Structure 1
């Protein structure tokens, strides 16, 4: 099969090349997926630079990619949940960095797989699992949000935009921080936009007519603002700042979970969640996709199409 690979840790994005590799071995309790699309996430190029080497073993050559959407073409032992021909998606992270999803085929543990929502294209489905799952967990830990005011830091980003949609679906009033160019986009998702910068605390409190009920941080370095606008007993979470736990908050790290991905798929099919695809790339364009991801100015998901 054709796959994008790199052979060592490096910050040189052009070190990603395309070559032929053997098909991955189909393990028990796994499915072999013909990859229709694979989402790009910042963790992909951070892994390439060795950013998670302290906590995750790596087996070279590495095929990057942790998000996937495609068709089941074979099943391992004991996988009654799926059959050949099923359209699926998954957050496909494994315990070892090595066999990723930027390839024509990928093996994924069945515990991470969910049926693809019919309402989303292959490219949209591929951009959903990791970022959507991260947002889902960060919102879940905040408890019941119906009728409450939620502040989301980084609301227009890849994870934040999912957080907005999930919270709105639960009946929350959402205030979302973003640059002015993204304010119309946030309004289209159901959030009330608030501009970054000096005076942010005052703008938040004015919009909320007092403290907010809960906060979800999808950007980091926002703890002081969170504590300044949150009601005394209000819950808060962050995906980017572990220090929130010292102030009563919860730090969120998503793990592969097909059940959670299925919840996102259902929201999509219910018309309550969509995925904005910012660009698609071939296997030979992974370096360019990584460069765009690193720029920090992408609104929506970047997707690899083998």
Structure 2
């Protein structure tokens, strides 16, 4: 099979090579990959997650060519989206059947590839809050992949969504996705009940300060690349109870296939937009990675595999 491997010396640290075809375990399906999505995990931590020569990528959509030998998972010919840490950037992928979701008609491979990492992160994060109906939800870094899913899913859940973006131009389309407010900083923000933070650093600290009593902030990402310092004395003075939890792709519950399918059904029904901000063939992977790093992509960057 053809694959993009992590090579620190190559453009965008990705090099195309020929590798042996994957051999699926009994609980895995083998798919022919048609589209893959880029994530911050692939760009920011490839040395520690994949290592030189490893195949990056967590999100891939394609067609099942070998079903799971244990009988689990979809049948041959099924159109699916998949999640796993590594192995996505290749023409074939073996992945546990429990992390495979069937795509309904009307959902393209490009749209399906955008769903697993960012979409399931947003979905499972919002579930952590319980009911959001009538409550104020702050999404920081709302212009990114997870952010745009969180804005949409929060609005669908009945939340009053406050979308934070780093620059005015990054706010494009967020009101249409369900944001009730757009902010750039959090000074003077009315208290919020829940926070999905994709930025980290001082932004996370400010978001915690904006929490109402018994509010919860989930630290999902660290796009800002800075450490976070909390003023616990100020929190004591404010009184009440507020919590912060780290919530990342690594904290997914086992078996995200049903969540992928739930998101795909919303896409098919026209209630959720995958927000593809960049799309092109995988020989332009370096271009896509650079655009994502430079925050020139609104939503997801997806590579078409051929």
When normalised by structure 1's length, the TM-score is: 0.85
Pairing of 1:126-205 with structure 2 (within 5 A): 126-178=113-165, 179-197=167-185, 200-202=186-188, 204-205=189-190
In structure 1, C-alpha distance between the alignment counterparts of 2:171 and 2:283, rounded to whole Å: 34
Shift of 1:61: 2.5
Deviations 1:214-271 (A, max 9, x none): 2221221223322332211122212136969996222102236212222222322333
Q: In the superposition, relative to structure 1, how do residues 63 and 281 fare at CA in structure 2: closer, same or farther (>3 Å)?
A: farther
Match of 1:217 among 189, 194, 197: 197
Are 1:76 and 2:74 matched, yes or no? no
Residue aligning to 1:31: 29
Q: In the superposition, relative to structure 1, how do residues 226 and 305 fare at CA in structure 2: closer, same or farther (>3 Å)?
A: same
Q: Which has the higher contact order (CA 8 A, sep 6+)?
A: 1
In structure 2, C-alpha distance between the alignment counterparts of 1:141 and 1:297, rounded to whole Å: 30
In structure 2, C-alpha distance between the alignment counterparts of 1:116 and 1:201, rounded to whole Å: 42
Q: State the superposition RMSD in angstroms.
A: 2.3
CA contact (8 A) 2:145 2:298 kept: yes
The 3-state SS of whatever aligns with 2:187 is helix
Shift of 1:146: 0.8
The 3-state SS of whatever aligns with 1:235 is strand
In structure 1, C-alpha distance between the alignment counterparts of 2:172 and 2:44, rounded to whole Å: 31
In structure 2, C-alpha distance between the alignment counterparts of 1:274 and 1:15, rounded to whole Å: 30
Pairing of 1:229-244 with structure 2 (within 5 A): 229-240=210-221
Deviations 1:128-174 (A, max 9, x none): 11011111122111111011111111112111000011111111111
Shift of 1:11: 6.4
The 3-state SS of whatever aligns with 1:279 is strand
Deviations 1:93-122 (A, max 9, x none): 2xxx5xx12121111111110111433221
Deviations 1:188-238 (A, max 9, x none): 1010232314xx321x22xxxxx2222221221223322332211122212
Q: In the superposition, relative to structure 1, how do residues 11 and 19 fare at CA in structure 2: closer, same or farther (>3 Å)?
A: closer
When normalised by structure 2's length, the TM-score is: 0.85
Q: In the superposition, relative to structure 1, how do residues 29 and 180 fare at CA in structure 2: closer, same or farther (>3 Å)?
A: same
Q: In the superposition, relative to structure 1, how do residues 59 and 235 fare at CA in structure 2: closer, same or farther (>3 Å)?
A: closer
CA contact (8 A) 2:72 2:97 kept: no
Q: In the superposition, relative to structure 1, how do residues 31 and 170 fare at CA in structure 2: closer, same or farther (>3 Å)?
A: same
Deviations 1:45-104 (A, max 9, x none): 2233x1xx2xx5x575222211011100112311343100000001122xxx5xx12121
In structure 2, C-alpha distance between the alignment counterparts of 1:116 and 1:25, rounded to whole Å: 24
Residue aligning to 1:273: 272
Deviations 1:265-298 (A, max 9, x none): 2322333211121222333222222211211231
Q: Any gaps of 5 or more consecutive residues in structure 1?
A: 206-210
| Aligned residues between the structures | 285
Are 1:62 and 2:54 matched, yes or no? yes
In structure 1, C-alpha distance between the alignment counterparts of 2:101 and 2:74, rounded to whole Å: 9
